[in-house]
Amino acid sequence: MWTRMKLFVLPDNLTPATRLRLGLVLLVWFLVVPACLCQASRQVTLAWDANQEATLMGYRVFCRQGSDVYHYAQPVWEGAAATCTLSGLDEYTDYAFVVRAYDLYGSQSADSDEVWLYGQTAIPGQPAVTSPQNDARDLFLTPVLQTTPFRSPDTGDQHLRTQWVVTRVSDGLCVLDLTSSSCLTELDVPPLVLEADTRYSWVARYYGVKGTLSEWSSPSRFITGESGLDEDGNGVPDDQEVGMAVDLDNNAIADADQDDLRCVNVPEGAGQVAVCAPDGGGVARISALESTDLATIDALDQIPYDLPLGLVSFRLELERTGGIATVRVYFSEPAPQAARWVKHDIINGWQDYSAHAVFAHDRLSVEVEIQDGGFGDADGVENGIVIDPAGYGVATSAAMSPEDDSHSLTDTSSSSSGGGGGGCFISALSN
């Protein structure tokens, strides 16, 4: 009858603090070759209670990594001693060990107690800014931010996500905080996030697949130039401004003359779209509205919606940071009965936003709800500013089948486009 063996990992070169931590967690001791002596591998010495059976032949040691299973046909060590030393182990990998005894007749015992050797955590290298260069001037209002490739001393770690943060230098306001699994070393700043002739600072950091997190990159600054698209400064590109005969909200006031409304011509003469901030909607000001050139969206031939009036992007300044804003969007032609309110941004791609939109009975307008830093806000941060690229669309065969139209405006289940949440926590880096 075999007796259950107790397996130990013998101590060596451990500081008192390390011994206390490992003893409390695992009740066994680890042998780790210090990183300064061995950058690529380490060794471990195992010992166990010797068996007393007269027919004992020896022992076999088995090893597995992480969540793998033991392969009992492939011991990593075999011998007659009650101790062994294994080398060549990766310093960033977790290993588990068991030992089995075997006798003259080929019988083999059950597993001993299992012990673990935990790997070190490798911190990814700090990203560096490659473009735009620090203190660049006269940048476009939608610059491309670029960083160096992901690197880590742990070859098993890989680039999972990147967090991008842009801050306005004059007052430390965080204007963009997005975390993306697709924009890993390059981010196109969305339209309307940046203002003309303004100094900004930005940083980025990397997430690894093993839960690791790099340091922030060193802050890099740039100054935007004048766009030249809105010479009169009314928040609408000059080539998209509507004439005095346009009155989409039917209040007998030309849309071009209303302070609480912005209206644009959409491309190819398809019509007009207006955005209005109703009283009590939480909007202090509509500071910008522009129609989106769909040709600037990747995979144009794979857009999952027909968009009769395209997409428009608007910039709202709210009465309360973190608040929920309500706007009414007017159309020059009725939206089809099958139309959904949809959005597109660089982080989440295409989204059905019908959970936060209610069309009027005549389908000539829709009431839309957006939360600063939450659902619908493309800048991803609570900063009192909402950036919203949206429009009505009819799903094509490339889109998922939409559910029914009975959604509540108070439903906040839509995913946020960023990870900023409570504001810009690194503003001190950018002052």
Q: How far is CA 175 from the centre of its chain?
A: 16
Q: Which fold has domain 7-117?
A: Immunoglobulin-like (2.60.40)
Residues ≥6 apart with Cβ < 8 Å to 94: 65, 66, 116, 117, 118, 119
pLDDT for the residue numbered 14: 28
Q: What is the domain class of 129-224 according to CATH?
A: mainly beta
The pLDDT-based confidence of 366 (bands split at 50, 70, 90) is: very high
Three-state DSSP at 288 gives strand
Q: Which of 92-106, 119-133, 139-153, 287-301 has the lowest mean pLDDT?
A: 287-301
pLDDT in tens, 288-345: 999 988 877 766 667 899 999 999 999 999 999 999 999 999 999 999 999 999 998 8
Can 7-117 and 129-224 be said to share one CATH topology?
yes
Residue 183 tokens read as 């924009």
Query: Where are the alpha helices (H) located in 242-315, listed in sequence order?
Result: none
Which of 120, 92, 125, 122 lies closest to 206 in space, CA to CA? 125
Which of 198, 196, 216, 197 lies closest to 206 in space, CA to CA? 216
Instruction: Give the pLDDT mean for 183-188.
Output: 96
**Tokens 């007749």, residue located:** 105
pLDDT > 80? residue 280: yes
Per domain, the residue ranges of the chain are 7-117, 129-224, 238-395
What pTM does this model have?
0.73
